[in-house]
């Protein structure tokens, strides 16, 4: 069987998902016809059973590809900060690093914010209970880590191969 890089498999998965939606739309299109009373409908496009057959094959290929991608993401690892992580865990870690960086960016914005003033000319402030500059720095480091990890994942996705015949789609 033909082998393709895992990265190509991931791209192909999105292509198959789109193809499934297109075939479902085609089924809706070819399954009905508007005709004048007493007239016979003229087929527009392919026969319904032909489209259904293609849809079934694309769905089967999509499931097979999912299985192969999941297996490859579990069986292959990435070295990051002295730790071996399965690709699936590395993907989740990269997402978590980005989320944490986003939180820390928010914390790093302002030290103090004016809230409101009362009729007695008393002004209230919301004051940070931490050093915002420290959180800005931490956010930058977390973003760098997320980028490094994403680059490692992308590189690994081109190294790992899965057995899938993509000739029907490329």
Q: What is the C-alpha separation between 163 and 170, in angstroms, rounded?
A: 15
Angle between the N-to-C axes of helices 6-30 and 48-75, in degrees from 0 to 180, rounded to the nearest 10: 160
Say if pTM beats, i.e. exceeds, 0.85: no
Q: Residue range 34-40: average pLDDT?
A: 89
**Confidence band of 118 (pLDDT split at 50, 70, 90):** low
What is the per-residue pLDDT for 145? 98
Judge whether residue 114 has pLDDT over 80.
no
Q: Is 116 helix (H, G, I), strand (E, B) or coil?
A: strand
State the maximum Cα–Cα separation within the chain, in Å, rounded to a whole number: 85
Judge whether residue 1 has pLDDT over 90.
no
**Confidence band of 110 (pLDDT split at 50, 70, 90):** confident
pLDDT digits (tens, 9 = 90+) for 49-92: 999 999 999 999 999 999 999 999 999 999 999 999 999 999 99
Select the more confidently predicted residue: 148 or 115.
148
> Distance of alpha carbon 36 from its chain centroid, rounded?
47
* Long-range contacts of residues 123-130, Cβ cutoff 8 Å, at least 24 apart: none
DSSP class of 23: H
């Amino acid at each position: 069987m033909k082998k393709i890089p895992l990265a190509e498999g991931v791209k192909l998965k999105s292509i198959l998902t789109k193809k499934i939606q297109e075939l479902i739309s085609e089924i809706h299109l070819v399954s009905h016809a508007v005709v004048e009373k007493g007239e016979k409908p003229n087929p527009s496009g392919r026969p319904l059973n032909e489209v259904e057959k293609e849809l079934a094959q694309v769905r089967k290929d999509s499931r097979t590809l999912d299985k192969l991608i999941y297996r490859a993401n579990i069986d292959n690892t990435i070295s990051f900060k002295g730790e071996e992580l399965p690709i699936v865990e590395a993907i989740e870690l990269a997402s978590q690093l980005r989320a944490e960086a986003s939180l820390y960016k928010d914390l790093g914005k302002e030290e103090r914010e004016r809230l409101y003033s009362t009729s007695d000319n008393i002004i209230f402030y919301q004051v940070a209970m931490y050093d915002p500059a420290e959180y800005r720095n931490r956010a930058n480091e977390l973003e760098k880590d997320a980028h490094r990890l994403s680059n490692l994942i992308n590189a690994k996705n081109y190294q790992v191969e899965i057995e899938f015949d993509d000739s029907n789609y490329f």
